[in-house]
Amino acid sequence: MEPERIAMPEIFSQPLHSQKPETFEVARQLPPARTIFPVLLFYCCLIAFTYLSACGFPRLLDQIDGQYAGAAREMISNHHWLVPTQNGVPRLRKPPLTYWLEIISFQSLGLNEFAARLPVSLATLGWFIAVGLLAYECSRDKLSSVASSVILATFFGTFQFSHLVMPELLFALLLTCSFWLLIRLAKKNETADRLSPELVFLWIVMALGVLCKGAHGLLLPIGILAVAAWLRPTLRPVFWRIILSKTGWLIFAALVCPWYLAIEHHYPGFILDQFGNEQANMLIGRRWPVDGAHLPLLGFWLEQLAVLFPWTFLIPGAVVASCRFLKSGQRVSSDTLLLSLWFFIYAAAITFANLQDYYLVICLPLVAIWLAWSFTQNLRQLFTSFLPGSLLILSGAVGISLGSQQIAPFFHAQKGALASEMAVTSVATAFADLAGAVSRSLTIGLLLFGSCAVIAGITLIVLRRHRRIALLILPPFVLIICILGLLEEVVLQDYLSSGSIASAINRNSDPNTLIVSKGSISDRTSLYFYLNRKICWLEGDPNQEYVTRRYGKGEDLYLSTSDLRKAWYSPQKVYLILDHASLSSICKELQLDPNKLRVLITTPTDLVIANGG
């Protein structure tokens, strides 16, 4: 039986002489595949170079980076790979695979930013390859497959997310591999008792997914296949073949169970908390306690348009092509059904979760494959050139307009706020100088972005006869703006990272120094990587970590205001890290004169004050 394929347009499925005259005219206007394909391969090399070379910049950021890189650094220093620890407290919110990869990278390349981001970048590049393989398995068209990878790599959000030290990109790679293997299994007409390589690798990949993010590494591919099998009876044999595979379950258990059982042995109740509170409750927005701010549903979906930039502007054409395909009455293939269910089931599942901007990253391959498919359809120039080109020009005009405005007053307003906090004059002066440099950098960045967007938009419109021209124009444009964004992050790294604070404290402290950070344990997480001392928390919630709320381990790291006041007036040296807005209230609580503070270091967002110890 001929395996099902995603329905491809006539220009690929029929010989050229059998096409209708109008179809031939469209095909003649398309740049030949032999011309585009080498260019896309060159873009792939350029993408790999850009992603890898950007790993070392800027400093690790607060909020996410330090949680994984800092825990891995601590595991190395403790010679303990089993239990991830952060600030000496077991951090069991996520399984260990990401931490292990970070450890391998650090031990190979040293403790630095490049080594911290390299595992994520390598996983991201592997993800691009896996998406190309998935697209090829569905279409058997090399050009569409490579185009899918290039489109995914040149979503603006892909580059930004790949620059964060977190497990999402590795999980996206593993999930993409799972669906690639599922589709290969569905196309093989094999008996249920045969153990094929695809089946073995599928169970290995799902096990690694569970060690990366949790139970949904198994539940997502199996659950989506179950729904697809219910809708499409031809998929039921492959579903039962996977579910009833004793060897598969043994492989899965051998890879997954040892770590979970070992942690359960050390901290009884962990498995229930992990799969209950951390995963099931997180999915429905009921995790306790709530950790950090979360996006509203509308804001989340609007932000995804920015994540997909500039390919967002080609979505209307893809929608038109999809509607045309559905109206034609053609049967939707099993491949298309599986991929569509992947997107819609996951999108529906996260609707009630505590949304973060990166939650939809595992569905980006589906958007990329969809957009690449739309390039094979006979769309009007309105959707392939005029609309995306016009919107790019409009985006560029907005960027140029913003860049032409005086941005400096925004930063000087912060300076005024700082002065109202009665900070030291020299500190305020230094901050004002930094703000001016940041203002100039942002202005230049916006002007360059706007100019590039206008040029790209005009080029799309001028070369509108070539229906695939966006595949040639948009990738280099995105790489340019990604590099511009990276340079801006380097300029703004003191706004985004606590690395400079850690350096100052490391130079001026000793093992007996008490270091206190005001806020949540999820704030200033880059301190976990850069700081060589333990941190205590003022106004932090000790219930955030399971081991602390269940067994009390690390409770002594959470200080009350009275604890801090007692330490502040003791002979012990104390450093307090806080944001500028909290300075007045801290001065009142500790009965300090704002004009006589000992300021160790200040950044645009935070400062460190010292007692007389």
Look up residue 260 and give its two tokens: 């979970």
DSSP string, 205-262: HHHHHHHHT-THHHHHHHHHHHHHHHH-GGGHHHHHHHHT-HHHHHHHHHHHHHHHHH
Show me where the domains of the chain are located. Answer: 92-374, 381-493, 499-610
Query: Strands, DSSP E only, in 3-149?
Result: 85-86, 89-90
Q: What per-residue confidence (pLDDT) applies to 437?
A: 56
How far apart are the C-alpha atoms of 86 and 361, rounded to whole Å?
Answer: 26
Q: What per-residue confidence (pLDDT) applies to 378?
A: 87
Q: What is the dihedral of CA 135, 139, 140, 145, to 10 degrees?
A: -30
Q: What per-residue confidence (pLDDT) applies to 547?
A: 96
Q: What per-residue confidence (pLDDT) applies to 195?
A: 78
Q: Is 397 exposed, middle or buried (0-12, 13-18, 19+ CB in 10 A)?
A: middle
Q: Of 490, 483, 429, give the one whose Cα is nearest residue 452.
A: 483
**472 near 456, Cβ under 8 Å?**
no
Q: Of 508, 524, 511, 506, give the one whose Cα is nearest residue 578.
A: 524
pTM, entire model: 0.90
How far apart are the C-alpha atoms of 602 and 105, rounded to whole Å?
Answer: 32
Look up residue 342 and give its two tokens: 């992947």
Q: What per-residue confidence (pLDDT) applies to 507?
A: 96
Instruction: Provide φ and ψ at 384, rounded to 5°.
Output: -90, -25
558's enclosing H/E stretch is strand 558-559
**341 near 228, Cβ under 8 Å?**
yes
**549 near 496, Cβ under 8 Å?**
no
Instruction: Provide φ and ψ at 289, rounded to 5°.
Output: -80, 160
Each residue's pLDDT tens digit, 46-93:
999 999 999 999 999 997 899 999 999 999 999 989 999 999 999 999
Q: What per-residue confidence (pLDDT) applies to 17?
A: 34
Residue appearing with tokens 């333990």 = 534
Q: Where are the alpha helices (DSSP H) in 543-607?
A: 546-551, 561-568, 583-590
* Residue 27 burial (CB count, 10 A): 17
The size of the chain, in residues, is 613
Residue appearing with tokens 């001065």 = 587
Amino acid of residue 168: E
Residue ranges of the chain whose pLDDT lies below 70: 1-33, 189-194, 292-293, 406-438, 613
